[in-house]
Amino acid sequence: MGQDAGAQAATGLPPTRKGKATREKLLAAAAVAFGQHGYNAVRITDIVAEAGISHGLFYRHFADKDAILLALLDQLNEELRRTTARTVGEADSLSLERLEARNIQFFRDYRRDRLLLRVAREAAAQQEHSDFRRVWLQMRDRFVARTERWLERLVTSGAVPPLADISMVAEGLSSLTEQLAYVQVGLAAQEPDDAFIERLGKACGLIWYRTISGQPQ
């Protein structure tokens, strides 16, 4: 149970419609505040000012800034859970076009939540034994595991040559994509436009294709 849910449970009453609306407003404001100030610099004052809500109402829903960031990350995790079914490029076949399309879509999705994803990664790196690291690893491990299963199917079907270490290939390709997203999208001074996202996705798709197929293209 998250700290915010625990605070609600302590009252003995289910959240009201107004309470849910207040919570959603706080979460939206926190996403903006964390994106603007970063994990270390953001203050509760920044969040409540953005939301137009009092400090007292904030503490009725969340214990501190860590609790509200965890709630935001849980939302992201749930969204990823719903979208980790087979996506473009994950049929049991291999083509450069599918991999380009898959990576373009990934970078578009990353762009949508780029500031929050950047803060999540930074918080996870700073606190080794924390819920931030747990949630972050859950998000990325889901993608790595999905890629590994896909590679196993490709090898089993004979669509690609045998890979000596499928799990490490999946980890390497996923880490490459994650780092490109963090540096080129998350850390960008301005939100990348569609043309840049397409270039990034095509370049990344080509690297995936050549690594998996062993063919130039």
Q: What is the percent of the chain with per-residue pLDDT over 90, rounded to a whole number?
A: 57
**Cα distance between the two ends of the chain:** 48
Residue indicated by tokens 């490490």: 168
Domain boundaries, the chain: 3-68, 83-213
Residue 69's Cα: distance from chain center in Å?
A: 13
3-state SS string over 20-64? Answer: HHHHHHHHHHHHHHHHHHHHHHCCHHHHHHHHCCCHHHHHHHCCC
The 8-class DSSP code of residue 88 comes to T
Closest CA to 22 of 52, 63, 45: 52
pLDDT at site 129: 63
Using CA atoms, how far residue 152 sits from 106, 108, 168, 205, in Å, is 21, 27, 12, 18
| Reported pTM | 0.78
Return mean pLDDT, the chain. 85
CATH architecture of 83-213: Orthogonal Bundle (1.10)
Give me the percent of the chain exceeding a pLDDT of 70: 85
| pLDDT value at 13 more than 50 | no
Q: What pLDDT score does 123 carry?
A: 84
Q: What is the pLDDT of residues 102-130, one digit of tens each?
A: 999 989 989 988 988 888 888 888 766 67
**Nearest alpha carbon to residue 75 among 34, 107, 108:** 34
Would you state the pLDDT for residue 40? 87
- 3-68 CATH, one of 1.20.1060.10, 1.10.10.60, 1.10.357.10, 3.20.20.80: 1.10.10.60
Residue 39 and residue 129: Cα distance in Å, rounded? 16
pLDDT bucket at 216, cuts 50 / 70 / 90: low
Among 1-15, 30-44, 194-208, the range of highest mean pLDDT: 194-208
pLDDT value at position 2? 44
